[in-house]
Amino acid sequence: MRTLDHPARDEMRLDTVLAALADPVRRHIACRLNTSHHDHACATFELPVSKSTSTYHFRTLREAGVIRQEYQGTSIMNSLRKDDLDARFPGLLDAVFAAQDIEGGVAVLSG
């Protein structure tokens, strides 16, 4: 089975995680994974970008350690690595998600 590389918890770097979450499209992906509490295929996200750009955003989140991606058949399923991020950077995700709520969430994508 094909697998994707993910950084271990102790390899996650604050600057890389913050850079990944600085983009509104990537923040939207992380917020959706946080609120849904289950895995989502890449294709289920309605993003205002091309498929190749969407792939780039998912890869950036995975390489930073924000999400975990696993193949299930022909789909790549995504999950938020909240436990790992909370252990490595306590309170970071909660602060990011709270700020996203204040900004208006998805409105940032369409505006």
DSSP secondary structure letters along 54-89: HHHHHHHHHHHTSEEEEEETTEEEEEE-HHHHHHHS
pLDDT in tens, 45-71: 999 999 999 999 999 999 999 999 999
Tell me how many degrees the CA angle 37-38-42 measures, rounded to the nearest 5. Answer: 120
How many Cα atoms within 13 Å fall on the side-chain side of residue 60?
Answer: 21
In the chain, where the domains are located: 9-100
Q: Which CATH class is domain 9-100?
A: mainly alpha
What pLDDT shows up at residue 29? Answer: 95
pTM (two decimals):
0.89
Mean model confidence pLDDT for the chain = 90
